[in-house]
Structure 1
Amino acid sequence: MLVEEIMKTDVITLPPTATIAEALKLLQENHIRHIPIVDNENHVIGIVSDRDVRDASPSIFDEQTKHQAFTNEIRSIMSYPVVTVHPIDFVEEIAHVFYDEEFACLPVISEDTLIGIVTEKDMLNTLIQLTGTNVQSSRIEIKVPHKPGILPEVAAVFGKRQTNITSVLIYPYNDPNYKILVFRIQTMNPLPVIQDLRDAGYELMWPNNLTEPKI
Protein backbone atom coordinates (compact mmCIF):
# COMPACT_ATOMS: atom_id res chain seq x y z
CA MET A 1 0.00 0.00 0.00
CA LEU A 2 1.28 3.45 -0.95
CA VAL A 3 1.15 6.74 0.95
CA GLU A 4 -1.02 8.29 -1.77
CA GLU A 5 -3.72 5.72 -0.99
CA ILE A 6 -4.11 6.80 2.64
CA MET A 7 -3.07 10.47 2.73
CA LYS A 8 -5.51 13.36 3.16
CA THR A 9 -5.32 15.90 0.35
CA ASP A 10 -7.44 18.68 1.86
CA VAL A 11 -4.57 20.04 3.96
CA ILE A 12 -5.11 23.17 6.02
CA THR A 13 -2.02 25.38 5.94
CA LEU A 14 -0.83 28.79 7.11
CA PRO A 15 1.85 31.22 5.93
CA PRO A 16 4.71 31.95 8.34
CA THR A 17 3.34 35.46 8.91
CA ALA A 18 0.03 34.19 10.30
CA THR A 19 -0.53 34.81 13.99
CA ILE A 20 -0.69 32.30 16.82
CA ALA A 21 -4.31 33.35 17.27
CA GLU A 22 -5.09 32.33 13.66
CA ALA A 23 -3.44 28.96 14.20
CA LEU A 24 -5.39 28.37 17.40
CA LYS A 25 -8.65 29.18 15.64
CA LEU A 26 -7.92 26.76 12.76
CA LEU A 27 -6.94 23.96 15.13
CA GLN A 28 -10.11 24.33 17.16
CA GLU A 29 -12.56 24.84 14.29
CA ASN A 30 -11.24 21.95 12.18
CA HIS A 31 -10.44 19.54 15.04
CA ILE A 32 -6.89 18.99 13.78
CA ARG A 33 -3.59 18.73 15.63
CA HIS A 34 -1.04 19.95 13.07
CA ILE A 35 -0.74 22.77 10.55
CA PRO A 36 1.99 22.77 7.88
CA ILE A 37 3.51 26.22 7.34
CA VAL A 38 4.04 26.98 3.63
CA ASP A 39 5.49 29.77 1.53
CA ASN A 40 3.91 31.40 -1.53
CA GLU A 41 4.83 28.39 -3.71
CA ASN A 42 3.30 25.86 -1.31
CA HIS A 43 6.70 24.64 -0.15
CA VAL A 44 6.68 23.32 3.41
CA ILE A 45 8.98 25.47 5.55
CA GLY A 46 7.73 24.44 8.98
CA ILE A 47 5.02 22.74 10.97
CA VAL A 48 3.05 23.71 14.08
CA SER A 49 1.24 21.36 16.46
CA ASP A 50 -1.57 22.05 18.89
CA ARG A 51 0.98 21.57 21.67
CA ASP A 52 3.23 24.26 20.19
CA VAL A 53 0.29 26.66 20.19
CA ARG A 54 -0.73 25.76 23.75
CA ASP A 55 2.83 26.23 25.01
CA ALA A 56 3.03 29.63 23.32
CA SER A 57 -0.34 30.78 24.59
CA PRO A 58 -0.30 32.98 27.70
CA SER A 59 -1.80 31.95 30.99
CA ILE A 60 -5.43 32.90 31.46
CA PHE A 61 -4.27 34.74 34.59
CA ASP A 62 -1.72 36.85 32.71
CA GLU A 63 -3.85 39.55 31.11
CA GLN A 64 -0.91 41.86 30.40
CA THR A 65 0.81 39.55 27.91
CA LYS A 66 -2.29 37.84 26.54
CA HIS A 67 -2.88 40.12 23.56
CA GLN A 68 0.80 40.36 22.58
CA ALA A 69 1.39 36.58 22.67
CA PHE A 70 -1.52 35.81 20.37
CA THR A 71 -0.36 38.37 17.81
CA ASN A 72 3.11 36.83 17.48
CA GLU A 73 3.81 35.32 14.07
CA ILE A 74 3.55 31.56 13.75
CA ARG A 75 7.11 31.37 12.42
CA SER A 76 8.29 32.10 15.95
CA ILE A 77 7.05 28.72 17.24
CA MET A 78 7.08 26.46 14.16
CA SER A 79 9.35 23.41 13.96
CA TYR A 80 11.81 23.15 11.07
CA PRO A 81 13.27 21.59 8.99
CA VAL A 82 10.34 19.27 8.38
CA VAL A 83 10.62 15.53 7.69
CA THR A 84 8.40 14.70 4.70
CA VAL A 85 7.40 11.65 2.66
CA HIS A 86 6.60 11.00 -1.00
CA PRO A 87 3.20 9.80 -2.29
CA ILE A 88 4.67 6.58 -3.69
CA ASP A 89 6.53 5.63 -0.51
CA PHE A 90 5.32 2.37 1.01
CA VAL A 91 3.13 2.73 4.08
CA GLU A 92 5.03 0.05 6.01
CA GLU A 93 8.28 1.97 5.44
CA ILE A 94 6.99 5.31 6.72
CA ALA A 95 5.61 3.48 9.75
CA HIS A 96 9.25 3.18 10.82
CA VAL A 97 9.58 6.97 10.58
CA PHE A 98 6.52 7.48 12.79
CA TYR A 99 7.87 5.00 15.34
CA ASP A 100 11.56 5.95 15.32
CA GLU A 101 11.03 9.73 15.30
CA GLU A 102 7.84 9.69 17.42
CA PHE A 103 6.05 11.90 14.90
CA ALA A 104 2.28 12.41 14.92
CA CYS A 105 2.03 13.46 11.27
CA LEU A 106 4.08 13.68 8.08
CA PRO A 107 3.49 16.10 5.18
CA VAL A 108 3.46 14.46 1.74
CA ILE A 109 5.58 16.22 -0.87
CA SER A 110 5.75 15.83 -4.65
CA GLU A 111 8.13 17.99 -6.72
CA ASP A 112 8.84 20.03 -3.56
CA THR A 113 5.15 20.93 -3.22
CA LEU A 114 2.75 19.95 -0.44
CA ILE A 115 0.03 17.62 -1.76
CA GLY A 116 -1.17 15.80 1.35
CA ILE A 117 -0.63 14.77 4.95
CA VAL A 118 -0.52 11.45 6.82
CA THR A 119 -1.32 11.22 10.53
CA GLU A 120 -1.01 8.61 13.26
CA LYS A 121 -4.74 7.98 12.94
CA ASP A 122 -4.35 7.29 9.20
CA MET A 123 -1.61 4.78 9.99
CA LEU A 124 -3.72 3.03 12.63
CA ASN A 125 -6.69 2.81 10.26
CA THR A 126 -4.39 1.33 7.60
CA LEU A 127 -3.13 -1.28 10.08
CA ILE A 128 -6.73 -2.25 10.81
CA GLN A 129 -7.38 -2.74 7.09
CA LEU A 130 -4.16 -4.69 6.49
CA THR A 131 -4.89 -7.07 9.35
CA GLY A 132 -8.47 -7.61 8.19
CA THR A 133 -10.01 -6.73 11.55
CA ASN A 134 -12.35 -4.24 9.87
CA VAL A 135 -14.51 -7.09 8.51
CA GLN A 136 -16.22 -9.94 10.34
CA SER A 137 -13.86 -12.89 10.22
CA SER A 138 -12.37 -15.81 12.12
CA ARG A 139 -8.73 -15.80 13.24
CA ILE A 140 -6.54 -18.90 12.94
CA GLU A 141 -2.89 -19.04 14.08
CA ILE A 142 -0.69 -21.89 12.86
CA LYS A 143 2.84 -22.78 13.93
CA VAL A 144 4.81 -23.93 10.88
CA PRO A 145 8.43 -24.74 9.97
CA HIS A 146 10.39 -21.75 8.74
CA LYS A 147 11.02 -23.06 5.23
CA PRO A 148 10.36 -21.98 1.63
CA GLY A 149 6.93 -22.82 0.23
CA ILE A 150 5.16 -23.27 3.54
CA LEU A 151 2.68 -20.42 3.00
CA PRO A 152 1.09 -21.75 -0.23
CA GLU A 153 1.16 -25.24 1.28
CA VAL A 154 -0.98 -24.13 4.23
CA ALA A 155 -3.17 -21.86 2.09
CA ALA A 156 -4.05 -24.88 -0.07
CA VAL A 157 -5.90 -26.35 2.90
CA PHE A 158 -8.20 -23.33 2.95
CA GLY A 159 -8.55 -23.50 -0.82
CA LYS A 160 -9.96 -27.01 -0.72
CA ARG A 161 -13.01 -25.69 1.08
CA GLN A 162 -13.08 -22.51 -1.05
CA THR A 163 -12.61 -20.42 2.09
CA ASN A 164 -12.09 -16.70 1.48
CA ILE A 165 -8.88 -15.46 3.15
CA THR A 166 -9.16 -11.76 4.08
CA SER A 167 -5.63 -11.31 5.44
CA VAL A 168 -2.40 -13.18 6.17
CA LEU A 169 0.27 -12.14 8.68
CA ILE A 170 3.58 -13.79 9.53
CA TYR A 171 4.91 -13.49 13.07
CA PRO A 172 8.28 -14.65 14.41
CA TYR A 173 8.37 -17.53 16.89
CA ASN A 174 10.74 -17.84 19.85
CA ASP A 175 12.42 -20.73 18.01
CA PRO A 176 13.93 -19.39 14.72
CA ASN A 177 13.18 -22.72 13.04
CA TYR A 178 9.46 -21.92 13.18
CA LYS A 179 7.12 -19.03 12.47
CA ILE A 180 3.45 -18.23 13.07
CA LEU A 181 1.02 -17.80 10.17
CA VAL A 182 -2.08 -15.81 11.10
CA PHE A 183 -5.04 -16.17 8.75
CA ARG A 184 -8.31 -14.27 8.89
CA ILE A 185 -11.03 -16.08 6.97
CA GLN A 186 -14.60 -15.15 6.11
CA THR A 187 -16.73 -18.04 7.24
CA MET A 188 -19.53 -18.49 9.73
CA ASN A 189 -18.12 -21.83 10.83
CA PRO A 190 -14.31 -22.22 10.89
CA LEU A 191 -14.42 -25.65 12.55
CA PRO A 192 -14.19 -27.73 9.32
CA VAL A 193 -11.09 -25.81 8.21
CA ILE A 194 -9.58 -26.08 11.68
CA GLN A 195 -10.07 -29.83 11.60
CA ASP A 196 -8.56 -30.02 8.09
CA LEU A 197 -5.47 -28.22 9.35
CA ARG A 198 -5.13 -30.62 12.27
CA ASP A 199 -5.61 -33.61 9.99
CA ALA A 200 -2.84 -32.24 7.78
CA GLY A 201 -0.53 -32.25 10.78
CA TYR A 202 -0.35 -28.53 11.50
CA GLU A 203 -0.10 -27.24 15.06
CA LEU A 204 -2.73 -24.61 15.84
CA MET A 205 -1.81 -21.87 18.29
CA TRP A 206 -5.30 -20.34 18.06
CA PRO A 207 -7.90 -21.64 18.43
CA ASN A 208 -6.25 -24.56 20.17
CA ASN A 209 -9.25 -26.13 21.83
CA LEU A 210 -12.00 -26.14 19.19
CA THR A 211 -12.93 -29.36 17.44
CA GLU A 212 -15.55 -30.16 14.86
CA PRO A 213 -18.56 -31.95 16.40
CA LYS A 214 -18.72 -35.66 15.73
CA ILE A 215 -21.81 -36.85 13.84
Structure 2
Amino acid sequence: MLKVRSIMTSNPTTIGPNAKVWEAANVMLDNRISGLPVVDQSGDLLGIISESDFLRRNEIHADAPHGLWRDFFSSRGGLAEDYAKSFGNDVGEVMSSPAVTVQPDASVETAAELMAEKNIKRLPVVEGSEIIGIVTRFDVMAALVRSLASHCAERADNDIRNALEAELSRQKWGDSVTLHVADGVVTLEGRVLDSREKTALHVAAENTIGVKSVNDRIEVVVPPDMPVPPPGFYL
Protein backbone atom coordinates (compact mmCIF):
# COMPACT_ATOMS: atom_id res chain seq x y z
CA MET A 1 0.00 0.00 0.00
CA LEU A 2 1.41 3.38 -1.04
CA LYS A 3 2.08 5.67 1.92
CA VAL A 4 1.81 9.45 2.17
CA ARG A 5 5.49 9.57 3.18
CA SER A 6 6.51 8.33 -0.28
CA ILE A 7 4.73 11.11 -2.22
CA MET A 8 4.85 14.13 0.12
CA THR A 9 7.11 17.16 -0.30
CA SER A 10 9.52 17.19 2.63
CA ASN A 11 10.57 20.37 4.46
CA PRO A 12 7.75 22.50 3.03
CA THR A 13 7.88 26.29 2.98
CA THR A 14 6.21 27.67 6.13
CA ILE A 15 5.43 31.01 7.72
CA GLY A 16 4.98 32.31 11.26
CA PRO A 17 1.71 33.57 12.77
CA ASN A 18 3.07 37.09 13.31
CA ALA A 19 4.00 37.60 9.65
CA LYS A 20 1.84 40.02 7.71
CA VAL A 21 -0.76 38.77 5.28
CA TRP A 22 0.96 40.51 2.38
CA GLU A 23 4.19 38.70 3.29
CA ALA A 24 2.39 35.36 3.09
CA ALA A 25 0.97 36.35 -0.30
CA ASN A 26 4.44 37.21 -1.60
CA VAL A 27 5.89 33.92 -0.34
CA MET A 28 3.15 31.97 -2.12
CA LEU A 29 3.63 33.90 -5.34
CA ASP A 30 7.42 33.61 -5.25
CA ASN A 31 7.28 29.85 -4.64
CA ARG A 32 4.30 29.23 -6.93
CA ILE A 33 2.34 27.49 -4.19
CA SER A 34 -1.26 27.96 -3.12
CA GLY A 35 -0.97 27.38 0.61
CA LEU A 36 1.40 27.85 3.55
CA PRO A 37 1.52 25.92 6.81
CA VAL A 38 1.71 28.30 9.77
CA VAL A 39 4.16 27.21 12.48
CA ASP A 40 5.42 28.57 15.78
CA GLN A 41 9.07 29.01 16.72
CA SER A 42 9.33 25.33 17.71
CA GLY A 43 8.07 24.17 14.32
CA ASP A 44 4.72 23.02 15.67
CA LEU A 45 1.82 23.40 13.27
CA LEU A 46 -0.71 26.10 14.19
CA GLY A 47 -2.83 26.33 11.06
CA ILE A 48 -2.68 26.96 7.34
CA ILE A 49 -3.21 30.00 5.13
CA SER A 50 -4.25 29.41 1.54
CA GLU A 51 -5.35 31.23 -1.57
CA SER A 52 -9.00 30.78 -0.54
CA ASP A 53 -8.35 32.99 2.50
CA PHE A 54 -7.38 35.85 0.20
CA LEU A 55 -10.63 35.51 -1.75
CA ARG A 56 -12.48 36.69 1.38
CA ARG A 57 -10.38 39.81 1.86
CA ASN A 58 -12.12 43.16 2.32
CA GLU A 59 -9.80 44.68 -0.29
CA ILE A 60 -11.48 42.53 -2.91
CA HIS A 61 -15.05 42.88 -1.60
CA ALA A 62 -14.90 46.47 -0.32
CA ASP A 63 -18.09 47.50 -2.11
CA ALA A 64 -19.91 44.18 -1.99
CA PRO A 65 -23.00 44.16 0.26
CA HIS A 66 -23.22 41.39 2.88
CA GLY A 67 -25.92 38.82 2.27
CA LEU A 68 -28.71 39.27 4.80
CA TRP A 69 -29.64 35.59 4.76
CA ARG A 70 -26.00 34.57 5.33
CA ASP A 71 -25.76 36.97 8.27
CA PHE A 72 -29.05 35.71 9.69
CA PHE A 73 -28.14 32.02 9.61
CA SER A 74 -24.44 32.36 10.53
CA SER A 75 -23.39 31.96 14.15
CA ARG A 76 -21.77 34.79 16.06
CA GLY A 77 -18.49 32.88 15.93
CA GLY A 78 -18.78 32.35 12.19
CA LEU A 79 -19.44 36.05 11.57
CA ALA A 80 -16.52 36.97 13.80
CA GLU A 81 -14.25 34.59 11.88
CA ASP A 82 -15.35 36.11 8.56
CA TYR A 83 -14.60 39.59 9.90
CA ALA A 84 -11.11 38.59 11.10
CA LYS A 85 -10.28 36.93 7.78
CA SER A 86 -11.53 39.97 5.87
CA PHE A 87 -9.70 42.61 7.87
CA GLY A 88 -6.87 40.82 9.72
CA ASN A 89 -3.32 41.98 9.05
CA ASP A 90 -1.41 39.11 10.67
CA VAL A 91 -1.27 35.55 9.32
CA GLY A 92 -2.40 34.22 12.70
CA GLU A 93 -5.62 36.23 12.40
CA VAL A 94 -6.42 34.98 8.91
CA MET A 95 -5.22 31.36 8.89
CA SER A 96 -7.53 28.36 9.12
CA SER A 97 -7.03 26.57 12.42
CA PRO A 98 -6.77 23.81 13.31
CA ALA A 99 -5.45 22.56 9.99
CA VAL A 100 -6.63 19.21 8.64
CA THR A 101 -3.56 16.97 8.74
CA VAL A 102 -2.44 13.47 7.84
CA GLN A 103 0.15 11.08 9.27
CA PRO A 104 3.15 10.10 7.11
CA ASP A 105 2.31 6.40 7.31
CA ALA A 106 -1.32 6.90 6.30
CA SER A 107 -2.28 5.52 2.90
CA VAL A 108 -2.52 7.77 -0.13
CA GLU A 109 -6.16 6.66 -0.33
CA THR A 110 -6.75 8.11 3.14
CA ALA A 111 -5.20 11.43 2.08
CA ALA A 112 -7.36 11.54 -1.05
CA GLU A 113 -10.52 10.85 0.96
CA LEU A 114 -9.66 13.64 3.43
CA MET A 115 -9.11 16.13 0.62
CA ALA A 116 -12.41 15.21 -1.00
CA GLU A 117 -14.36 15.20 2.28
CA LYS A 118 -12.96 18.55 3.49
CA ASN A 119 -12.77 20.09 0.01
CA ILE A 120 -9.14 21.10 0.47
CA LYS A 121 -6.17 21.01 -1.88
CA ARG A 122 -3.34 20.22 0.51
CA LEU A 123 -2.64 18.36 3.74
CA PRO A 124 0.22 19.08 6.14
CA VAL A 125 1.96 15.85 7.09
CA VAL A 126 2.72 15.76 10.80
CA GLU A 127 4.50 13.60 13.33
CA GLY A 128 3.21 14.61 16.73
CA SER A 129 2.68 18.35 16.37
CA GLU A 130 5.67 18.91 14.08
CA ILE A 131 5.15 19.32 10.35
CA ILE A 132 7.50 17.17 8.27
CA GLY A 133 5.94 17.55 4.83
CA ILE A 134 2.94 18.48 2.75
CA VAL A 135 0.90 16.47 0.27
CA THR A 136 -1.26 18.07 -2.41
CA ARG A 137 -3.92 16.99 -4.85
CA PHE A 138 -1.24 17.09 -7.55
CA ASP A 139 0.87 14.60 -5.58
CA VAL A 140 -2.09 12.25 -5.24
CA MET A 141 -2.91 12.53 -8.94
CA ALA A 142 0.71 11.84 -9.90
CA ALA A 143 0.70 8.73 -7.69
CA LEU A 144 -2.55 7.60 -9.28
CA VAL A 145 -1.15 8.04 -12.79
CA ARG A 146 1.96 6.02 -11.90
CA SER A 147 -0.23 3.28 -10.44
CA LEU A 148 -2.46 3.18 -13.51
CA ALA A 149 0.58 3.08 -15.80
CA SER A 150 1.98 0.17 -13.80
CA HIS A 151 -1.30 -1.74 -14.05
CA CYS A 152 -1.54 -1.02 -17.77
CA ALA A 153 1.98 -2.35 -18.26
CA GLU A 154 1.02 -5.51 -16.39
CA ARG A 155 -2.07 -6.00 -18.54
CA ALA A 156 -0.03 -5.35 -21.67
CA ASP A 157 2.37 -8.15 -20.68
CA ASN A 158 -0.56 -10.54 -20.30
CA ASP A 159 -1.96 -9.44 -23.65
CA ILE A 160 1.42 -9.96 -25.31
CA ARG A 161 1.78 -13.43 -23.85
CA ASN A 162 -1.76 -14.45 -24.87
CA ALA A 163 -1.31 -13.13 -28.40
CA LEU A 164 2.04 -14.86 -28.90
CA GLU A 165 0.80 -18.14 -27.45
CA ALA A 166 -2.19 -18.00 -29.79
CA GLU A 167 0.08 -17.43 -32.78
CA LEU A 168 2.44 -20.26 -31.85
CA SER A 169 -0.46 -22.67 -31.27
CA ARG A 170 -1.38 -22.23 -34.94
CA GLN A 171 2.08 -23.33 -36.09
CA LYS A 172 3.39 -26.90 -36.16
CA TRP A 173 6.79 -25.68 -34.97
CA GLY A 174 5.39 -23.47 -32.21
CA ASP A 175 5.19 -25.98 -29.36
CA SER A 176 8.90 -26.35 -28.62
CA VAL A 177 9.49 -23.34 -26.35
CA THR A 178 8.34 -21.74 -23.15
CA LEU A 179 7.96 -17.99 -23.01
CA HIS A 180 7.93 -15.26 -20.38
CA VAL A 181 6.94 -11.60 -20.75
CA ALA A 182 8.03 -8.79 -18.43
CA ASP A 183 7.77 -5.06 -19.24
CA GLY A 184 7.26 -5.84 -22.90
CA VAL A 185 10.39 -8.04 -23.15
CA VAL A 186 9.74 -11.60 -24.37
CA THR A 187 12.10 -14.36 -23.23
CA LEU A 188 12.07 -17.55 -25.28
CA GLU A 189 13.53 -20.74 -23.81
CA GLY A 190 13.70 -24.28 -25.11
CA ARG A 191 15.43 -26.60 -27.59
CA VAL A 192 14.78 -27.09 -31.29
CA LEU A 193 16.27 -29.46 -33.84
CA ASP A 194 16.34 -26.98 -36.70
CA SER A 195 17.81 -23.46 -36.72
CA ARG A 196 14.93 -22.42 -38.99
CA GLU A 197 12.52 -23.08 -36.13
CA LYS A 198 14.60 -20.82 -33.90
CA THR A 199 14.41 -18.06 -36.50
CA ALA A 200 10.65 -18.45 -36.96
CA LEU A 201 10.03 -18.37 -33.20
CA HIS A 202 12.07 -15.18 -32.90
CA VAL A 203 10.17 -13.57 -35.79
CA ALA A 204 6.80 -14.50 -34.26
CA ALA A 205 7.80 -12.93 -30.96
CA GLU A 206 9.21 -9.67 -32.35
CA ASN A 207 6.17 -9.19 -34.61
CA THR A 208 3.70 -9.45 -31.72
CA ILE A 209 2.17 -6.05 -31.01
CA GLY A 210 3.59 -4.45 -27.86
CA VAL A 211 6.86 -6.38 -27.79
CA LYS A 212 9.85 -4.11 -27.08
CA SER A 213 12.57 -6.72 -27.49
CA VAL A 214 13.17 -10.47 -27.59
CA ASN A 215 15.55 -12.32 -25.31
CA ASP A 216 16.29 -15.44 -27.34
CA ARG A 217 17.59 -18.35 -25.25
CA ILE A 218 16.58 -21.09 -27.64
CA GLU A 219 19.21 -23.79 -28.23
CA VAL A 220 19.58 -25.61 -31.50
CA VAL A 221 20.56 -29.18 -30.75
CA VAL A 222 21.85 -31.66 -33.32
CA PRO A 223 20.61 -35.26 -32.88
CA PRO A 224 23.31 -37.92 -32.81
CA ASP A 225 24.16 -39.49 -36.15
CA MET A 226 21.94 -42.42 -37.01
CA PRO A 227 23.83 -45.75 -37.34
CA VAL A 228 24.36 -46.86 -40.91
CA PRO A 229 22.38 -50.06 -41.58
CA PRO A 230 24.43 -53.06 -42.81
CA PRO A 231 24.40 -53.91 -46.51
CA GLY A 232 21.29 -55.73 -47.58
CA PHE A 233 19.40 -54.63 -44.40
CA TYR A 234 16.38 -53.44 -46.39
CA LEU A 235 16.39 -56.35 -48.81
Q: TM-score, normalised by structure 1?
A: 0.59
Letter in 1 for 2:52: R
CA distance in 2, matches of 1:108, 1:59: 32
Q: Mind listing any 5+ residue stretches in structure 1 that lack a counterpart?
A: 63-68, 143-153, 167-186, 193-215
Question: Cα distance, 1:57 vs. partner?
Answer: 5.9
Distance 2:180 2:102 in 1: 40
CA-atom RMSD in angstroms: 3.6
Q: What does residue 141 of structure 2 align with?
A: 124
Shift of 1:164: 2.2
**Matches of 2:44 and 2:10, distance apart in 1:** 15
Distance in 2 (CA, whole Å) between partners of 1:6 and 1:122 is 6
- SS of residue in 1 equivalent to 2:126: strand
Q: Does 1:87 align with 2:88?
A: no
Deviation at 1:106, TM superposition (A): 0.3
Q: How does 1:185-204 map to 2 (within 5 A)?
A: 189-190=208-209
Give the C-alpha shift of residue 56 in structure 1: 1.9
Quote the sequence identity (%): 27
- Aligned position for 2:7: 6
Distance 1:71 1:100 in 2: 28
- How much has 1:32 moved relative to structure 2? 0.2
Q: Look up the SS of the partner of 1:48 in the other structure.
A: strand
Structure 2 counterparts to residues 121-200 of structure 1, below 5 A:
121-132=138-149, 137=153, 161-164=179-182, 189-190=208-209
**2:47 aligned residue:** 46
Deviation at 1:92, TM superposition (A): 1.8
- TM (norm. structure 2) is 0.55
Structure 1, 113-122 or 76-85: larger mean CA deviation: 76-85
More strand by share: 1
* Corresponding position of 2:27: 26
Give the paired residue count: 153
1:111: how far off?
2.5
- TM-aligned CA distance change 1:93 to 1:31, over 3 Å: same
Deviation of residue 31 (structure 1)? 0.3
Question: Which protein shows a greater Rg?
Answer: 2
Structure 2, gaps ≥5 residues long: 64-85, 166-177, 185-205, 212-235
Q: Deviation per CA, 1:98-153: give whole Å up to 9, x if none.
A: 222222000000132100000000000000111117x995966x9xxxxxxxxxxx
After superposing on structure 2, the runs of 4+ consecutive aligned residues of structure 1 that deviate more than 3 Å are 59-62, 135-140, 156-161, 187-192
Aligned residue for 1:56, secondary structure, equals coil
Shift of 1:87: 1.0
**CA 1:26–1:165 in 2, change beyond 3 Å: closer, same or farther?**
same
The CA deviation string for residues 22-56 of structure 1, in whole angstroms up to 9 with x for no partner, is 01100111100000111111111111111212432
